[in-house]
Structure 1
Amino acid sequence: MTISTAIPFNKPYLSGKETTYIEEAVRSGKISGDGLFTKRCHKFFEERFGFRKVLLTTSCTDALEMAAILLDLQPGDEVIVPSYTFVSTPNAFVLRGAKIVFADSTALNPNIDAASIEALVTPRTRAIVPVHYAGIACDMDAIQAVATRHGLAVVEDAAQAIDSYYNGKPLGSLGELAAFSFHETKNIISGEGGMLAINDPRFAQRAEIIREKGTNRSSFFRGEVDKYGWVDMGSSFLPSDIIAAFLYAQLENLDQIQDQRKALWQVYYTALSSLSKYGVGVPNLPDYATNNGHMFYLTCTSLDERTALIEHLREQQILPVFHYLSLHKSPFYVDKHDGRELPWADFYTDCLVRLPLYYELTPALQQRVIGAILNFYHSR
């Protein structure tokens, strides 16, 4: 009996130059933060996507925590966040003493329901944090209209949204601040790593200070001050140049990576859209959004169906995964939530399943995944 090759959920992509650049960074004599490759990465993002200023961080979580500090949040201030997201999104603001007001997802996709946000605004609201789930844009015009009416900041959680667009504008360029992830499960990776995009110039100088432990060290190295000292709160948010060297090797191959991932996404979409006759959903792409090939998911009709599908695929050495759990029901926040039902967040918690999608997923392996899913539904 032939044992099939296991198909993992994710496999990190390597361009081949990562270790070359890491060695170059080491030989430069500077492998701490803001070295040669950090500067190259900053230049790439600012020129390619038009971000006003970017700062690499050790994670997307750190970028979100920097954003929370930059907003000068005070205990009791409120921040509107989708319930269906990773814990880092609200946790960054909880650390500053903020109260999280959870919003529901939409019926069309797991993104925040923009139409529900205005009713959640109170005199204590300070910010809205849309999460571009699967790299698909939230309804940013509607979100920014609410923010403008009430004088709120918009912080984009663009962890999954590199090289994706809203009405032709890069995600991460629309809010005052935006956070990206380069975790090994993302399109462009550095193992762990992230980036803060600063689109409002008011935050640019202070962001540097916060990232450098609350010191004006960056200004000192540019010759703008004759010594540096402790001038604000902050922490050690900047990554080693070794991480930046790995990341830069990925950035050089961004278009190639994206073309391959989007092609794989399209094969899934074409083959699995027919499952709608069983009530199974595929990703919904609004007219204003683009697909960056980050993730392909299905929405099953129930938790039991999803559990059975995952078990069926794992029996064939295919490793899909489910995703977030509704944060308004989490052990940490359930007694702090205001009690509103958020049915779509709960739906995606129970019913969404993510399929294997990575650069080296071959046509034969992808067809194995597709065939196993179709067989599961056709045989029910």
Structure 2
Amino acid sequence: MIEFNRPHMTGNEFEYIAQAKRGHVLAGDGPFTKKCSSWLEEITGCAKALLTHSCTSALEMSALLLDIAPGDEIIMPSYTFVSTANAFVLRGGVPVFVDIREDTLNLDETLIESAITTRTRAIVPVHYAGVACEMDTIMDIARRYGINVVEDAAQGLMANYKGRALGSIGDFGALSFHETKNIISGEGGALMVNDHSKIHRAETIREKGTDRSRFFRGEVDKYTWQEVGSSFLPGDLVAAFLWAQMEEAQTITDLRLSIWSRYHNAFASLERAGVLRRPFIPQECGHNAHMYYVLLREDIDRHKILQELKQHGIGAVFHYVPLHTSPAGQRYGRLHGSLALTDTLSERLIRLPLWVGLTNEQQSQVVEVLSRAICRQA
């Protein structure tokens, strides 16, 4: 069996968890949490990195920080995970679904401006597969209209746009350390705050709406409830696991890039034959090999391809069901124009196994079985 994903362990995870136990600090914002936050700030250049339970939590914090109220509109792609929309719908926000680009499958920046109304409060670009959206254009639109940008960089750690880390460009950025991501803690995430003036409020919201962080820094003589917040802190045991991953982040990224490149080279001939399309990486984007996918020619039956891969013990999957086609998406969101590319591309995409430790032999088997299955239909 070639699993779709196998969580990678660097070797120090349980030793660091044991260190946290011996230090008698298990709750949030302990020594390992501080190590992880400092590392994120150094590697991304953000003003403040706050570890959270998940990327979902980080997105929910951003909605609170933006004071999203019922009826406020948030522009985002429909081709994304449900958390991108849920975080704002929880505050009464209305997702406005915009189509994606054909090349990167990212939010089409040329459609954003026409989607803006007097109720628009934020744009949420999703950096699909760790490949950056066209952030210069998005930030220019946001500045001209006075609206905020929240980067959904769940898949984006160790990737960049014109040398700038994903998640560090907008007002806020959200990262994921779910076990399916490159750098993991089982569950986990982080909110990246890119404006120094918003740090204290972000800390307050993360600490159940209290000024507890300021109290422990000696800035106030007691802490109390200041505003609406929730418990968004992960325990230091989670951070201890995560720190072992962060120490090896560049090595992990390099290994994944090698696997990604082998797939990319192997499928070049099928792309030339017109039966599939490989991922496209714009010149200004430094990606992190979060995933490798192929887009099948429109007349090829994806279900049959996936069935054949499964019969050979290969764990390949499709990805998002577009939110605008879901019951909740139709209930809480609205469409801006045609989402034709979202509809067609989502139905043609197959994600292939990609994890540290995938051998050349296993990868060759994936390539061989997929190529044979596609050519049988072509």
- State the TM-score, normalizing by the size of structure 2: 0.97
By how many angstroms is 1:99 displaced? Answer: 1.1
By how many angstroms is 1:244 displaced? Answer: 0.1
Instruction: Tell me whether 1:42 sits opposite 2:37 in the alignment.
Output: yes
Q: For residues 104 and 362 of structure 1, what CA distance do their matches in structure 2 show?
A: 37
CA RMSD of aligned residues (A): 1.2
By how many angstroms is 1:337 displaced? Answer: 2.1
- 1:328 aligns with one of 312, 324, 340: 324
User: Does the 8 Å CA contact 1:49/1:170 hold for their aligned counterparts?
Assistant: yes
Give the AA of the match of 2:284. Y
Q: Aligned pair count?
A: 375
2:126 counterpart residue number: 131
By how many angstroms is 1:301 displaced? Answer: 2.3
Give the AA of the match of 2:139. Q
1:32 counterpart residue number: 27
Q: For residues 9 and 184 of structure 1, what CA distance do their matches in structure 2 show?
A: 12
Q: Which moved more, 1:55-64 or 1:39-48?
A: 39-48
SS at match of 2:328: coil
Instruction: Tell me whether 1:57 sits opposite 2:52 in the alignment.
Output: yes
1:227 counterpart residue number: 222
By how many angstroms is 1:379 displaced? Answer: 3.0
1:3 counterpart residue number: none
- 2:309 aligns with one of 308, 313, 317: 313
Instruction: Tell me whether 1:10 sits opposite 2:1 in the alignment.
Output: no
1:289 counterpart residue number: 285
Q: For residues 211 and 160 of structure 1, what CA distance do their matches in structure 2 show?
A: 22
By how many angstroms is 1:303 displaced? Answer: 7.9
Q: What aligned pairs does 1:85-234 form with structure 2 within 5 A after superposition?
A: 85-234=80-229
- 1:280 aligns with one of 276, 279, 283: 276
Q: For residues 378 and 120 of structure 1, what CA distance do their matches in structure 2 show?
A: 41
1:371 counterpart residue number: 368
Give the AA of the match of 2:297. T
C-alpha deviations, 1:248-269, integer Å up to 9, x for none? 0001111110110000000000
2:352 counterpart residue number: 355
Instruction: Tell me whether 1:73 sits opposite 2:76 in the alignment.
Output: no
SS at match of 2:95: strand
Residue ranges of structure 2 left out of the alignment (5+ in a row):
none
SS at match of 1:284: coil
C-alpha deviations, 1:176-232, integer Å up to 9, x for none? 100000000000000000000000122100000000000011111111111110001
User: Does the 8 Å CA contact 2:152/2:174 hold for their aligned counterparts?
Assistant: yes
Q: For residues 158 and 142 of structure 1, what CA distance do their matches in structure 2 show?
A: 17
- 1:343 aligns with one of 328, 340, 358: 340
By how many angstroms is 1:339 displaced? Answer: 7.2
User: Does the 8 Å CA contact 1:278/1:377 hold for their aligned counterparts?
Assistant: no
Q: For residues 348 and 109 of structure 1, what CA distance do their matches in structure 2 show?
A: 11
By how many angstroms is 1:237 displaced? Answer: 0.2
Taking only the aligned residue pairs, the percentage that are identical comes to 49
By how many angstroms is 1:290 displaced? Answer: 1.4
Question: 1:329/1:378 Cα in 2 relative to 1: closer, same or farther (>3 Å)?
Answer: closer
Q: For residues 299 and 233 of structure 2, what CA distance do their matches in structure 1 show?
A: 41
By how many angstroms is 1:375 displaced? Answer: 1.4
By how many angstroms is 1:338 displaced? Answer: 4.2
By how many angstroms is 1:361 displaced? Answer: 0.3
Q: For residues 8 and 232 of structure 2, what CA distance do their matches in structure 1 show?
A: 25
Q: For residues 68 and 375 of structure 2, what CA distance do their matches in structure 1 show?
A: 53
Give the AA of the match of 1:359. V
Q: For residues 120 and 187 of structure 1, what CA distance do their matches in structure 2 show?
A: 33
Give the AA of the match of 1:328. H
Instruction: Tell me whether 1:83 sits opposite 2:78 in the alignment.
Output: yes
- 2:232 aligns with one of 228, 237, 244: 237
By how many angstroms is 1:10 displaced? Answer: 0.1
Instruction: Tell me whether 1:252 sits opposite 2:236 in the alignment.
Output: no
Q: For residues 295 and 53 of structure 1, what CA distance do their matches in structure 2 show?
A: 27
Q: For residues 264 and 203 of structure 1, what CA distance do their matches in structure 2 show?
A: 39
Q: For residues 16 and 339 of structure 1, what CA distance do their matches in structure 2 show?
A: 48
Q: For residues 300 and 23 of structure 2, what CA distance do their matches in structure 1 show?
A: 55
User: Does the 8 Å CA contact 2:33/2:236 hold for their aligned counterparts?
Assistant: yes
- State the TM-score, normalizing by the size of structure 1: 0.97
